[in-house]
Amino acid sequence: MLLSFLWFMLFVGVVLWVAYRNHSHAFATLAIAVVLAGYTLTGAAPVWWKAILWAAFAPLALLNVSPIRVRFLSRPFFRIYKRLLPRMSSTEREALEAGTVWWDGELFTGHPEWNKLLSAAAPKLSSEEQAFLDGPCEELCRMLDEWDITHHRADLPPEVWDFLKKKGFFAMIIPKKYGGLEFSAYAHSCVLAKLASRSTVACSTVAVPNSLGPAELLLHYGTEEQKNHYLPRLARGDDVPCFGLTAPRAGSDAASIPDTGIVCRGTYRGRETVGLRLDFSKRYITLAPVATVVGLAFRLFDPDKLLGGEQTDYGITVALVPADAPGMKLGRRHFPLNVPFQNGPVEGKDVFVPLDAIVGGPKMAGQGWRMLVEQLSVGRCISLPSNSTGGAKGAVYSTGAYARIRQQFSTPISKFEGVESVIARMAGNAYIMDAGRSVTAGAIDGGEKPAVPSGILKYHTTELGRVIVNDAMDVQGGKGICLGPKNYLGRGYQLTPIGITVEGANILTRNLIIFGQGAVRCHPWVLKEMNAARDHDHRRALGEFDKALMGHIGFTISNAVRSLIRALTLSRIVKAPVQGPTARYYEHINRFSASFAFATDVAMLSLGGYLKKKESLSARLGDVLSCMYLASMVLKHYDNQGRPEADLPLVEYACRTLLYRAQEQLHSFLRNFPVGWLAAVMRLAIFPRGLTYFAPSDRLGRKVAELVTNPTESRERLCDGIYKTLEPTNHLGLVQEAMVLAVAAEPLLKRIRVEGVKTGRVTALDLPSQIGQAEAVGILSAAEATQLREYDRKVMEIVHVDDFEPEELEAGQVTPPKAHREAQVA
C-alpha cells in the first residue's frame, strides 16, 4: 500500500515537474513512461489497474508520431481554428504587427527571462545632451511665464518661438547632417519632462514636431529629395509642421477618414503634371494655425489608373502639403481647456499637389496606415509619458514642500495621516511613471520600437498623472484652485484630459489596444497560429500550425501548473535574479506572469473572436499586463540608479501598489468570466489560497511621505530633471527653499507654542506678533526672531493667491457660437 502511494506521489511529482519546466512532449512522454514502467514492475496494484494506466498513457505517446498527431489532432483543430479566426482588415493587421516585441513578450511567457531586462544598459545622457538641458532648456524655462502665455497672449511670446526654432527644440529627432540635434530618445524625453514642469503650452508645442509627424515620417520613408528639402527647413524652424489625421467623423476610428486624394492631371506652380486633388476637413490639429507644411492623411483613389497599376482604391496615404497651396484653409484656432497651445482645424478644397508630395513618392501610395502605426510606437513612448511625468514630478515636488510649510491646527499638514497617505500615493505613482518613462526610453535607444509598451505607457502615465494632479489639488486646497500668476497647479490640472484624449483616447487604449495587441504580438504561439491559418499553401500551413499547436498546448499546461505551484508556495519556489529586499517582487511578478499567461490562453481559446467584444475582460487582462510591466520597470529603474537604500520605501510602495492591482484585476476578470466552470478551473490554478497579496501598509506610506516632505536625497532623485532652479519666478524653487527653512523653523515655532502660548506669555493670534512677543519675553533670541520672520514672509508669499479687479477678468471678444455658425454658412 505504502509503495503504491509512493509510486503515485512520484508519478504526480514527475508530471508536475515536466509541466512546470515546460519540457518537450517527447521528453515528457519518456519521463512518464519510465515512472509507469517502474510502477508496473514493482507496484502492488492489480494488473487491470496498470492496464488502464497504460491505456491512458497511449494517446500521449502516440501524439509523438507526427502523421497520427496531424490526422487526429492538428488537422481537425486547424479547420475549426480557421473558421473561428476573426476577420481582420489590413489596417487592423498592420496595427497589430507594428513595432517590436520587447519585455512585454517575456511577461507573456509565464516565466520571464529577467536577464534580458537587467542586462540592458541604463539610459544615459551624452555630455552634449546634458549641456542642452543645463543650457538652452534651462534658459527657455526661465523665459516662460505660464500665466502670461495662458491668460494674456493665448500663445507663446514671439521671442520664445524664435528661441525654440533657433536652439533646435523642434529638431531633437532630426539627424545632425540635416541640421538637427539627433538626440537619444532618453534625452528627448528629459527635455520634454523638464519643460512640462514649467509650462504646459511650451511642452505641448515642443512635443508635436518631435513626435509622429512630417519629420519622423520623412526620416523613415521619405525620398532623398524630400529629406534634403524638408529636414533642414524643419530643423531650422523655417517650416513649422503639423500632422492632420483626425476628421470630424473619424476620431478614434482614424482609419475610416472620409478625406480623399484623387490622382489626376493638373497644374502645380505653373507646371502641368500628374498629381493629387485633395478634399479634406481635419480638426484638433496641433500647430495647424501656425503650420507651413501639413502632413496629411487621406484615402487615395486612382480612377484613371494614372499610377500605372490596376488598383483604383489605394487606401490611406500620407502627403506633405504646403500650407500656402491654393485651396488650403488654416489659421483658425480651437481653445483646448485654457491650455492654449496652437491647435485648430485644417480644410482643403480642390487642393492640387504633385505626386511627389506623397511621403516616399508614388511607390508609397496606400502605405500611410502602415507608416503611421509603425512610427507611432516610438513617439507614443516618449511625448505623453514625458509630459505627464514632468508634470507629475513638479506636482510631487511642490506638494511635498507645500504640505510641510502649510500649517493648520498648529501642525504642518504633512503630519496628518490623511494628507500623508495622499502624498505617499503621489510619490509612489510618480516613481512608477518615471521608471516606465526612462527605462522604456533606454530600450528605444537600444533599438527597440516597443508597440505594446507604448500603449501601456501612454495610458498609465496619463491616468497616473491625472490621479497625481487631483491629489496635488486636494492637498494644496484653495492654493491650487485660484488661478493667477501665483498658481502653479491649475494649468497642469486642465491639461490632463488632453493627454488622456490624444494619441489613442484612453478608454479605447485600455479596452482594445493594450491586451488586444499584446495577445497577438507578444504571445509566443498565437501569431504563428494565425499566420499559418492565413497561409494559402495548405501543406506548409498545416505543418506550421501543427508545430505551433503542440507548443501552445504545452505552454498552456505549463502555465497552469506554474500558476498553481507558485500561488500555493506564495512564489517562494521561484528563483529571483537578485538578492536583497527587492527579490520578493521579482518572484511575485513571475507568479502573476504564469497566472496571466494561463488566463490569457483560456480566454482566447474559449471566447475566440468574442473576446474582442468583451472589452471589459480584455481591459482587465491588459491591466494585469500593464501592472507587471510597470513593476518590472520600477525594479530596473531602481537597479539603474544603483539601488540606493534610502529609496527602498518608494520601490516597495510602487511594486506593492502595482502587484496588488494585478491581483485585483485578475480576480475581477475571473468574477466576470462568462463561462462559469472555466472560471472555476482558472480560480483553482490562480488563487488556490484566495487573495494573498496586500496593498502598501499605512506604515510604508508614512515612510514614503516622509521622504518627499523633507529635503532628502530621495526627494531630489524622484523629482530629478524638473525646473527647480531657485529664482524669483520659479515656484518650484521657492517652495523648496521654504521647505528647507521649515526644518530649522519648526523647533522655534514649537518653542513659541510650548513656552509662550501654553504658558500665557505669548497672547497674540498671528505669527508675526507672536514672534515679537516671544522675542520680548526672551523665548526667542533676536537672531531666531529674524530667522522666523524671514521664514514666515517666504511662506506667506507662497501661500498667498492672486486677486483681480473685476474688469481684469471680463471675458474678451468671443464670437458667439450661433453667429459663428451663421458666418460659416454664409
Ligand X SMILES: Cc1cc2nc3c(=O)[nH]c(=O)nc-3n(C[C@H](O)[C@H](O)[C@H](O)COP(=O)(O)OP(=O)(O)OC[C@H]3O[C@@H](n4cnc5c(N)ncnc54)[C@H](O)[C@@H]3O)c2cc1C
Please identify every residue annotated as catalytic: 503
Q: CB neighbours of 25 closer than 8 A, spacing ≥ 6? A: 63, 64, 550, 554
**280 is a contact residue toward ligand X (CB under 6 A):** no
| Site map (CB under 6 A) of ligand X, residues 653-692, x = contact | ----------------------------------------
Which of 157, 251, 266, 733 lies at the binding interface for ligand X (CB under 6 A)? 251
Question: Across-strand partners of 352?
Answer: 277
**96, 291, 330, 498: which one binds ligand X (CB under 6 A):** 498
Q: Is residue 508 at the binding interface for ligand X, with CB under 6 A as the rule?
A: yes
CB of 96 or CB of 557, closer to ligand X:
96
**Residue (of 804, 194, 801) closest to 487 by Cα position:** 801
Paired sense of beta strands 343-354 and 407-408, if any: unpaired
Of the residues 19, 36, 95, 245, which one makes contact with ligand X according to CB under 6 A: 245
Binding mask 96-125 for ligand X (x = CB under 6 A): ------------------------------
Side-chain-side CA neighbours of residue 80 (13 Å): 9
User: What is the H or E stretch that residue 412 is in?
Assistant: strand 411-412
The least CB distance from residue 345 to ligand X, in Å, is 11
For ligand X, the binding residue among 285, 624, 627, 685 (CB under 6 A) is: 285
Q: Which stretch binds ligand X (CB under 6 A): 282-290, 350-358, 547-555, 654-662?
A: 282-290
Per-residue binding letters, 317-336, with ligand X (x by CB under 6 A): -------------------x
Give the amino acid at 349: K
> Between 413 and 456, whose beta carbon lies closer to ligand X?
456
Interface pick for ligand X out of 502, 550, 630, 631 (rule CB under 6 A): 502
DSSP assignments along 149-189, one per residue: IIIIISS--HHHHHHHHHTTGGGTTS-GGGT-----HHHHH
Q: Report yes or no: 404 and 741 within 8 Å, Cβ to Cβ.
A: no
In the bound state with ligand X, the residue whose beta carbon lies nearer, of 244 and 390, is 244
Check residue 300 for interaction with ligand X (CB under 6 A): no
Specify the residue, 620 or 715, whose C-beta has the smaller distance to ligand X.
Answer: 620
Our finding on whether 298 is near ligand X (CB under 6 A) is: no
Least separation in angstroms between residue 470's CB and ligand X is: 18
Nearer to ligand X, 22 or 511 (CB): 511
Residue closer to ligand X by CB (options 249, 269) is 249
* Closer residue to ligand X, CB minimum distance, 189 or 343: 343
Host H or E run for residue 320? strand 313-322
507 lies in the site for ligand X, by CB under 6 A: yes
281: number of Cβ within 10 Å: 17
Phi, psi dihedrals of residue 411, rounded to the nearest 5°: -140, 140
Widest distance between CA atoms in the chain: 104
Least distance between ligand X and beta carbon 507 (Å): 4
Toward ligand X, which CB reaches closer, 91 or 246? 246
Options 6, 51, 505, 675; binder of ligand X; rule CB under 6 A: 505
- Mark the segment that binds ligand X (CB under 6 A) among 218-226, 500-508, 707-715, 764-772: 500-508
Written as nine digits, the cell of 660 is: 496588488
Binding residue for ligand X (CB under 6 A) from 286, 399, 563, 730?
A: 286
Q: How far apart, in whole angstroms, are the C-alpha atoms of residue 291 and residue 303?
A: 31
585 binds ligand X, rule: CB under 6 A? no
With contacts defined by CB under 6 A, name the span among 93-101, 284-292, 673-681, 762-770 that binds ligand X: 284-292
Amino acid identity of residue 195, one-letter, is L
Q: Is residue 252 part of the contact set for ligand X (CB under 6 A)? A: yes
Q: Whats the size of the chain, residue-wise?
A: 826
Helix, strand, coil distribution of the chain in percent, nearest 5: 65, 10, 25
Q: Which residues contact 203 (CB under 8 A, 6 or more apart)?
A: 192, 195, 196, 387, 390
Closest residue to ligand X using C-beta atoms? 251
Query: Angle of helix 676-686 relative to helix 583-607, nearest 10 degrees?
Result: 160
Under the criterion CB under 6 A, does residue 290 sit at the interface with ligand X? Answer: no
State the cell numbers at 417.
495621516
CB of 204 to ligand X, least distance (A): 8
Q: In this chain, which stretch among 181-189, 477-485, 501-509, 732-740 interacts with ligand X, using CB under 6 A?
A: 501-509
Helix (H) / strand (E) element for 744: namely helix 731-751
And the C-alpha cell for 790? 524671514
Applying CB under 6 A, among 284, 596, 629, 723 the residue interacting with ligand X is: 284
Can residue 88 be called a binding residue for ligand X (CB under 6 A)?
A: no
Number of residues located near ligand X, criterion CB under 6 A: 20
CA-based nearest residue to 199, from 177, 169, 244, 230: 169
Q: Give me the least distance between CB of 285 and ligand X, in Å please.
A: 5
* Residue 693: partners with Cβ closer than 8 Å, 6 or more residues away: 588, 659, 660, 663
The alpha-helical segments, DSSP class H, found in 641-675 are 648-671
CA pair distance 364, 386, nearest whole angstrom: 32
Instruction: Give the chain's end-to-end CA distance (angstroms, integer).
Output: 97
Q: Which is nearer to ligand X, 197 or 342 (CB)?
A: 342
Spell out the residues 6+ positions from residue 441 whose beta carbon is closer than 8 angstroms to its own: 123, 184, 185, 186, 188, 189, 381, 382, 386
Q: What is the DSSP letter of 247?
A: B
- Which of these segments, 172-180, 190-198, 239-247, 480-488, binds ligand X (CB under 6 A)? 239-247
Check binding of 281 to ligand X (CB under 6 A). no
> Which residue, 346 or 560, has its beta carbon nearer to ligand X?
346
Angle between helix 490-501 and helix 451-476 axes, rounded to 10 deg? 150
Closest to 366 measured CA to CA, from 261, 283, 451 = 261
* All residues at 6 or more sequence positions from 601 whose CB lies less than 8 Å from its CB, including other chains: 552, 555, 556, 559
Task: Tell me which of 222, 244, 345, 450 binds ligand X, using CB under 6 A.
Answer: 244
DSSP 808: G
Residues 608-647 that bind ligand X (CB under 6 A): 615
Instruction: Name the residue nearer to ligand X (CB basis): 315 or 442.
Output: 315
Restricted to residues 511-530, the positions that interact with ligand X (CB under 6 A) are 511-512
Which of 109, 150, 197, 246 is the binder for ligand X (CB under 6 A)? 246
**Beta-bridge partners for 297:** 318
| Nearest distance in Å: CB 284, ligand X | 3
Q: Nearer to ligand X by C-beta: 507 or 578?
A: 507
Q: What is the dihedral of CA 695, 696, 697, 701, to 10 degrees?
A: -150
Piece of the chain touching ligand X by CB under 6 A; list 2-10, 246-254, 546-554, 636-644: 246-254
Instruction: Give least dist CB 495 to ligand X, A.
Output: 9
- For ligand X, the binding residues (CB under 6 A) are 243-246, 251-252, 284-286, 336, 343, 498, 501-502, 505, 507-508, 511-512, 615
